[in-house]
Each structure stands twice: as C-alpha cells, then as structure tokens.
Amino acid sequence: FYEEVRRQDFVRNWQLVAAVPLFQKLGSAALIEIVRALRPRIVPAGAVICRKGDVGDQMFFIVEGRVTVATADHPVELGAGNFFGEMALISGEPRSATVSAATEVSLLSLYAVDFQMLSSSSPEIAETIRKTALERRGGPPRE
Ligand code: CMP
C-alpha cells in the first residue's frame, strides 16, 4: 500500500514539474531525482507562505497561480514557472521579504539538502537559481 501511495505521488509530481520550464533542461536521471524530492502544496489566496526575517530551509516553484513578494520598494508578483525562497537557502540569511499567495497557488517545495543534490546533478540549474538570487538582492525587482 505504501509503495502504491509513493507511486501515485511520483506520477502527480511528474505532472506538476512539467509546469516549471527550469526543469526541462534536466536529463532523465536528474529529473527522476528532483521529482522524488519535491513536495507539492496548495496554499489558499491571501495566506503567507514565508515571512521576512524567518529562517528558510526550503525554496518554492510555482506550478499554478500567483504570489506577491513584499519587497522594500514595491510589491512584485511572480507567476507559474517562477520560483522564490532561494535567497535564504543559498545565503543562509533570514527571509528577505514576506511572500503571500495572491491567488490560490499550487507550489512544489525543495528542501536545502535536496537543493544540494540538485546542485551536484545539475550545476546549470543551480547556477541559474544562484544568478536570480544575486539579481534580486542587488537590482530592481524582477521576475
Ligand atoms: P528569500 O529571501 O528566501 O525569501 C523571500 C523571497 O522573495 C526571496 O528569497 C526571493 O525569492 C523573493 N524576492 C526577494 N526580493 C525580490 C525581488 N526584488 N524580486 C523578486 N523576488 C524577490
């Protein structure tokens, strides 16, 4: 029974991962690893997903819906295919902004240990995520 549940989770995650363009670069072995590692989650509109100042041990990929990032200057909206929560994961610093669900949102979360796994199996994707974190930290708000 446990095996069957695991199999269903795998199939469902597989479908969700297809909504994130970043993962399309992965080869089949790395893709299987990431599909196993990601945890799906549905968040209702208005709910806070991560709060500025909190410790962050996971990052999130948006499958469907939109989130609002309350940055210092003005709020930024991120939609399907985008990700957030990578800054705390990479720097080890507290969350830089509060992120809340602008609509009901379907997410896939990736924990720090699994991010390390992704970094070694796909340095290219890890590099893209790192670059985005640096751009968001320094420059103006962006997707
Ligand atoms: P983290 O600091 O872990 O938690 C808040 C997240 O909001 C952060 O990671 C980024 O993913 C996101 N974020 C912070 N600043 C910006 C910005 N200027 N533009 C887009 N997203 C941002």
> What does the pLDDT read at residue 9?
87
- Strand, coil or helix: what is 41? strand
Indicate whether residue 86 lines ligand 1 (CB < 6 A).
Answer: yes
Q: Which residues pair with 84 in a beta bridge?
A: 60
pLDDT digits (tens, 9 = 90+) for 93-133: 999 999 999 999 999 999 999 999 999 988 999 999 999 99
Do residues 42 and 106 lie in contact, with contact meaning Cβ atoms separated by under 8 Å? yes
Categorize the per-residue pLDDT at 72 as very low, low, confident or very high, splitting at 50, 70 and 90: confident
Q: Residue 133 phi/psi, 5° resolution?
A: -60, -45
Q: What is the pTM of this model?
A: 0.93
pLDDT digits (tens, 9 = 90+) for 10-34: 999 999 999 999 999 888 998 999 9
Indicate whether residue 84 lines ligand 1 (CB < 6 A).
Answer: yes
Residue 89: name the closest of 69, 67, 109 by CA.
109
Indicate whether residue 133 lines ligand 1 (CB < 6 A).
Answer: no
